[in-house]
Amino acid sequence: MSNEGSRVTGINPVLLIDKIIRAKIYASTYYKESCFALNAKTIIDRAVELKSIGGTFGGARKPTPFLCLALKLLQINPEWEIIQKYIEQEDYKYLRALGCLYVRLIGKPKEAYEILEPVYNDYRKILIRNSDSTLSVSHMDEFIEDLLSKEIVFDLVLPHLPKRHMLEELEILNPRKSALDNELQFEENVVQQHHEEEERERKRNLKKKSKLGEGGQNPQKEPVPESIEYWNSIRQQMGLPPLKAPPAAK
């Protein structure tokens, strides 16, 4: 068993799962038949076969295959980079979920937030095996929220995780930026660019008006059609005398 990837010091990672639940896992048919001799590479084959995730279920509180694989992964204690690969790949959602649970159990608080928070952007549906044996639909981002906010998930008591704002105050974590924050920032940039373009256009128009009025003279106005000035300008071009303006009304 490799210990190089372990984030747990002084204890066997397997002990993170309650003794009673461990005993149920060791006694389960799935663990005996499907988890024997697995390693960090071959456990992937079992994880991609999963159809749901969950803890224990039914009257006998049988462990789900997901829970069995979680214990086996703690036994294997693979390199940290391998676990990150489980999470970074996007083809197999239950392999990703298994890696996320492992990070929450083993990872330091800073690692838990930094590795799991990006998975908030995964909105795929996942099936949950409930304690009464029924199946319910959830989503990957909801599972991540449970891992980061709850003390117990799938019958597992999770290690204490300080609130995010506390780690920010201690400057252990940078303020989190969500995908929505990025979208809002993009929209703000677009609006800002639009305003800047409008301002540049306004300045160009002012510059044009200034050029038309150079030398203290007002720019010449175009004669209004059908007015005396309009027709006189045409007559002037034709060499005809101007029309006389009608006398002002008394």
239, part of any domain: no
CA-derived radius of gyration, the chain: 36
Structure tokens at 201: 């256009």
Pairing of strands 62-63, 125-129: unpaired
Structure tokens at 41: 């590479």
160, part of any domain: yes
Flag whether pLDDT at 216 surpasses 60: no
Model pLDDT, residue 2? 40
d(CA 148, CA 238): 88
Query: How does DSSP assign 99-164, residue by residue?
Result: HHHHHHHHS-HHHHHHHHGGGGG---EEEEE-TTS-EEEEEHHHHHHHHHH-SEETTEEPPP---H
142, part of any domain: yes
Model pLDDT, residue 243? 73
The answer to whether 243 and 235 have CB atoms below 8 angstroms apart is: yes
* Structural domain boundaries, residue 18: 13-179
Pairing of strands 135-139, 156-157: unpaired
Q: 1: pLDDT confidence band, cut at 50, 70 and 90?
A: very low
d(CA 215, CA 45): 85
Q: Which of 20-24, 47-51, 127-131, 193-197 has the lowest mean pLDDT?
A: 193-197
Structure tokens at 62: 């049988």
Across 206-234, average pLDDT: 63
Model pLDDT, residue 206? 76
Model pLDDT, residue 227? 73
Number of domains in the chain: 1
Note the pLDDT tens digit of each residue in 65-99.
999 999 999 999 999 999 999 999 999 999 999 99
Single pTM value for the model: 0.69
Model pLDDT, residue 15? 93
Model pLDDT, residue 230? 72
Across 229-250, average pLDDT: 72
Model pLDDT, residue 207? 72
Q: What is the mean pLDDT of the chain?
A: 85
167, part of any domain: yes
Model pLDDT, residue 5? 41
Pick left, alpha or beta for residue 128 (phi over 0 → left; psi -120 to 50 → alpha; otherwise beta): beta
Pairing of strands 56-57, 62-63: antiparallel
240, part of any domain: no
Flag whether pLDDT at 203 surpasses 60: yes
232, part of any domain: no
Flag whether pLDDT at 3 surpasses 50: no
d(CA 144, CA 195): 39
Pick left, alpha or beta for residue 10 (phi over 0 → left; psi -120 to 50 → alpha; otherwise beta): left
d(CA 121, CA 234): 71
Model pLDDT, residue 43? 95
197, part of any domain: no
Model pLDDT, residue 95? 96
- Return the H-helix or E-strand segment holding 3: none
User: Contacts by 8-11 with C-beta closer than 8 Å and gap 24+?
Assistant: 8/106
235, part of any domain: no
Q: Please indicate whether residue 228 or residue 67 has the higher confidence score (pLDDT).
A: 67
